[in-house]
Amino acid sequence: MSALANNYNRKKLSFKKGKGSFLYTKSGKKYLDFVQGIAVNSLGHTNTHLVKAINKQSKKVWHVSNAFIIPEGEKLAKRLTQKTFADKIIFQNSGAEATEAAIKIARRYFYSIGKPKKNRIICIKNSFHGRTIAAINASGSKKMTEGFGPKVNGFDHFEFGDHKRLKKLINNKTAAIMIETILGEGGIKVIPNWCLRYLRKLCNRKKILLILDEVQCGIGRSGKFFAFEHANVKPDIVPIAKGIGGGFPIGAVLMTKKVAKGMTAGTHGSTFGGNPLAMSVGNAVLDQIFRKNFLTNVNKLSKYFIIELNQIKKKFPKIIKEIRGLGLLIGIQLIKDQNKFIQKLMDNNLLTIRAAENVVRVLPPLNVNKKEIDIALKIIKKVCKELKDK
């Protein structure tokens, strides 16, 4: 019996090693891994450049306190600010910590300008911002908050797409709107460009902040470095994690200098956040993602993958309802519950993972190749056929 608590519904499968898009079991069985730690291993398993970077840093220094200057973190922060809307960065260790910090930064900004009562955050009901007490309350999901009372005050919710309610919720206590640019756990629901632009305008008009959670959809996953770049908008605060570490736990919050003013010495901190080992890996991830044509290739493969998936959908309209997503954050929405479908894909050596609304999430590494996508397409087609013939 496992000594681990039962908070996960684990599949009876474990791996001995991984390389690129593939995972291998102890008995030598090979799986095409289109989960990649849920959009974490942006460069696949045991990427040579990342292995080199972590080995090199591990021989120099692993960890020093943020009480000292950490050059590897200075470098990563500078590279992120040079490429994005952000002027300042705070490093964390995970997505939930990053969204928590984003909430703190928004509240602290208004406090610092003499408006401490402006502290409420508006979020989409049943969205996903992580599993800490504040993050589950931000998500507003009954399933996630049940049994974890008392409710944390300070969050207001509207249903996805209900702009009337959103406008009504904004009052003189509102500090920010916080949404995922693409709802990941919620079923790969892409917020349309016009809507992101509308939200930006609304926030400007109401003098509140726009927080875009890019923990899952950021760092190249959508085909642009950030998903909101598709809409050409600039948020005020952006929590990131997952892809920036390529498998090493890193979280971060990006912000403008305006909001960063509130984060004076002592207002926030983290023992591990931004340590030299993590920062070296983060820099190595950026070396690859910032390479010329890296994102062009993500977009090319995404286009191919989505066109082909739509062909399969056309052939099996009673099984597949919709193909969703951007870049290599792809959702196959099924007509029926997706668990059996995911199990059958796994029986055929393709790993995928569920999301809400009967969606099968397909998350290849960003450096996947066409041959590997073709293997996945063949398996997906085969499973559709098996389920149709049943």
Ligand X SMILES: Cc1ncc(COP(=O)(O)O)c(C=O)c1O
Residue nearest to ligand X (CB): 95
By beta-carbon proximity to ligand X, the closer residue of 129 and 189 is 129
Quick check: 282 and 80 in contact, CB under 8 A? no
Name the minimum Å distance from CB 134 to ligand X.
12
By beta-carbon proximity to ligand X, the closer residue of 215 and 356 is 215
Q: In the structure, how many helices (H) and strands (E) does the chain have? A: 13, 17
Task: Say how far apart CA 314 and CA 294 lie, in whole Å.
Answer: 31
What Rg, from alpha-carbon coordinates, does the chain have? 21
Contacts with ligand X by CB under 6 A lie at 38, 94-96, 99, 128-130, 180, 184-185, 213, 215-216, 241
Q: Report which of 237, 179, 175, 235 is spatially closest to residue 206, judged by C-alpha positions.
A: 175
Name the minimum Å distance from CB 69 to ligand X.
26
Task: Say how far apart CA 132 and CA 96 lie, in whole Å.
Answer: 6
Burial class of residue 67 in the structure, from the number of CB atoms within 10 Å of its CB (0-12 exposed, 13-18 middle, 19+ buried):
exposed
Q: Where are the alpha helices (DSSP H) in 140-236?
A: 142-145, 163-169, 193-206
Name the minimum Å distance from CB 96 to ligand X.
3
Quick check: 181 and 191 in contact, CB under 8 A? yes
By beta-carbon proximity to ligand X, the closer residue of 43 and 227 is 227
By beta-carbon proximity to ligand X, the closer residue of 128 and 341 is 128
By beta-carbon proximity to ligand X, the closer residue of 99 and 222 is 99
Task: Say how far apart CA 115 and CA 113 lie, in whole Å.
Answer: 6
By beta-carbon proximity to ligand X, the closer residue of 110 and 128 is 128
Task: Say how far apart CA 45 and CA 366 lie, in whole Å.
Answer: 11
Name the minimum Å distance from CB 191 to ligand X.
12
| Sign of the dihedral through C-alpha 242, 254, 325, 308 | negative
Name the minimum Å distance from CB 245 to ligand X.
10
Name the minimum Å distance from CB 189 to ligand X.
12
Name the minimum Å distance from CB 38 to ligand X.
6
- Secondary structure class of 84 (helix, strand, coil): coil
**Cis amide leading into 150 (omega within 30):** yes
By beta-carbon proximity to ligand X, the closer residue of 95 and 220 is 95
| Token pair for 339 | 């668990």
By beta-carbon proximity to ligand X, the closer residue of 21 and 139 is 139
By beta-carbon proximity to ligand X, the closer residue of 99 and 126 is 99
- Write out the DSSP string of 217-282: TTTTTTSSSSGGGGGT---SEEEE-GGGGTTS--EEEEE-HHHHTT--TTS---SSTT-HHHHHHH
Name the minimum Å distance from CB 27 to ligand X.
30
Name the minimum Å distance from CB 127 to ligand X.
8
Q: Report which of 306, 301, 214 is spatially closest to residue 251, judged by C-alpha positions.
A: 214
